[in-house]
Amino acid sequence: MSGVTGPPGPLWEPWADAVAQRVAAGFDRLDLLTAVDRPASGEIEIVIHLVRRPEAGGLEDVWGHTLLDRAAPMLESVTGLLPAAAWHEREIHEMFGVQVSGHPDLRPLLLLDVASPPPLRKDTPLVARVDTPWPGARR
């Protein structure tokens, strides 16, 4: 498999259709589905890494991504194509505040209060850092 050396390739739009095309081409193993907060551009980037095992042996992989409006991020679920995406989509919903349409169960994974600011957005203050300054901060 190739390593990550740059951007994850072309935008996959529309998202669920593009994922479905790759799954139909045999990339039916989900290795990674995550989000990256990009406040400077007003976007949340969704990154996916899919893998397939060709009959000749070895592994082939494909990277893709899409960009969501940070102010109202909405992503179409791909759990019908890739059941393993269910947990990842729940995490993206809980940690980045992305609404995942068509997901069968968006219960929180870790947080008690999903209404609080999404903890992995870069502008969400970390309570531990408010109470205790980071010891490595420049003075």
- Residues 66-112 have pLDDT tens digits of 999 999 999 999 999 999 999 999 999 999 999 999 999 998 888 87
pLDDT at 135 over 80: no
Tokens of 83: 């059941």
**58 part of a folded domain:** yes
User: What is the DSSP secondary-structure string of 25-93?
Assistant: TT--EEEEEEEEEETTTTEEEEEEEEEE--TTSS-EEEEEEEEEETTS-EEE--TTT-TTHHHHHHHHH
pLDDT of residue 1: 44
pLDDT at 2 over 50: no
Q: Which long-range contacts (CB under 8 A, 24 or more apart) does 89-93 make?
A: 89/33, 91/34, 92/33, 92/34, 92/35, 92/46
Which is more confident, 136 or 54?
54
**138 part of a folded domain:** no
**137 part of a folded domain:** no
Partners of residue 112 on adjacent β-strands = none
pLDDT at 130 over 60: yes
pLDDT in tens, 4-61: 445 566 789 999 999 999 999 999 999 999 999 999 999 999 999 999 999 899 999 9
CATH number at residue 103: 3.30.460.80
**22 part of a folded domain:** yes
pLDDT of residue 138: 66
Short-list 45, 97, 104, CA closest to 77: 104
**48 part of a folded domain:** yes
Q: How many domains does the structure of the chain reveal?
A: 1
CA 99 → CA 71, 72, 73, 130, 139, distances in Å?
11, 8, 6, 28, 39
Find the domain containing 56 and state its range.
15-131
Angle (CA) 10-12-17 rounded to 5° is: 150
pLDDT in tens, 116-129: 789 899 988 877 66
**114 part of a folded domain:** yes
98 touches 68 (CB < 8 A): yes
**7 part of a folded domain:** no
**5 part of a folded domain:** no
Q: The whole model's pTM is what?
A: 0.84
